[in-house]
Amino acid sequence: MPVNTLNPVHACLFLADYAAWLYGCGATCTRIEKNVNRMVGAWNLNLELMIMPGSIHLTHTDTNTGQTQVYIKKVPHTGISFYKNTQLSKLSWNIADGRVTQEGAQREFDRIISAPPTNKWLVLLLASLANMSFCRLFGGDGVAMTVVFVATFAGFRFKQVLLDEHIDDKVVFILCAFFSAVIGAAGYVFDLGSTPEVALGTSVLYLIPGIPYINSISDMIRGQYLVSFSRFMNAMILTFCLSVGLAAGILLMNLRMF
C-alpha cells in the first residue's frame, strides 16, 4: 500500500481493535504480536505494542514530527472462537502481501467480528460425543458412556442458555457443573453399570478451561508474565467454580464421597 494513502490514526485504531479482538478470541500473545507486527511492517508505521491483562496499548510515533500518540483498547468480552482467530490471522497476511487496502481491511475486519457463531446444536452434539469419548478413555463402560453423553448434552445446553442470557461465567460454571454432576450420579443412584465413578468424574470435563491454561503457559514462555498470570488465575477460578458445582451435586445425591 502506498504510504500517502495511509491514514496513521485510522490505522492505529484498526490495529488496536484488531489486537483486542484477537486477544478476546483466545489468541496467545505470540500470535497477537506477530500478526500486528506483520501489518505494522506492511504499513510502515513506527508502532510499539504492549499487551496487558484485559487491554491493548499501542504507542505510535510520527517520524516526521516526533509526536507520540497512545491508543488503549479494552478487550471485548467474547467467547473463544477458532474461526475468528484464523480469519483474523488470514487478514494480517492479506494486508502484509498488499492484497487488501486499509479501507478493505476495515470492512473485512467488521465482517469477521460480526460473523455468527458455529451452529450451537452441532457444537452441542460434538461436545457431548467428545466427553463420552473421554469416559471411554478413562475406562468407562457402555452405560457410563451413555450417562456421560446425557449429562454433557444437558449441561452444555444449559450453559448455552445461561450465556445467551449474559449470566456471569462463574455462576454458569457452578450451575452447569452441579446440573451435570446430578445427572452423572445416575449410575450410583440407580445402580447402573460397573463404572459409575468414571461417569461422575467425566460428566463435568467439558467445563475444564483448557485453552486459558494452555495460553497461560505459552505467554509465560514468551515472557508475558502479567497476561500469563491473569489467564492462569481466571482459569483457576473457573476450575474452582466447577469443583463447587460438582461437590454440591455429590452432596445433594448423598453419595458420601467426603
Contact 108, 55 (CB under 8 A): no
pTM greater than the 0.75 cutoff:
yes
Distance CA 155, CA 178 (A): 9
For residue range 9-68, what is the model confidence (pLDDT) as tens digits?
899 999 999 999 999 999 999 999 999 999 999 998 999 999 999 999 999 998 888 889
For residue range 105-162, what is the model confidence (pLDDT) as tens digits?
999 999 999 988 889 999 999 999 999 999 999 998 999 999 999 999 999 999 999 9
Q: In what order do the strands lie in the sheet with 47-52?
A: 47-52, 55-61, 68-74
Give the three cell numbers for residue 244. 463447587
For residue range 206-230, what is the model confidence (pLDDT) as tens digits?
999 999 999 999 999 999 999 999 9
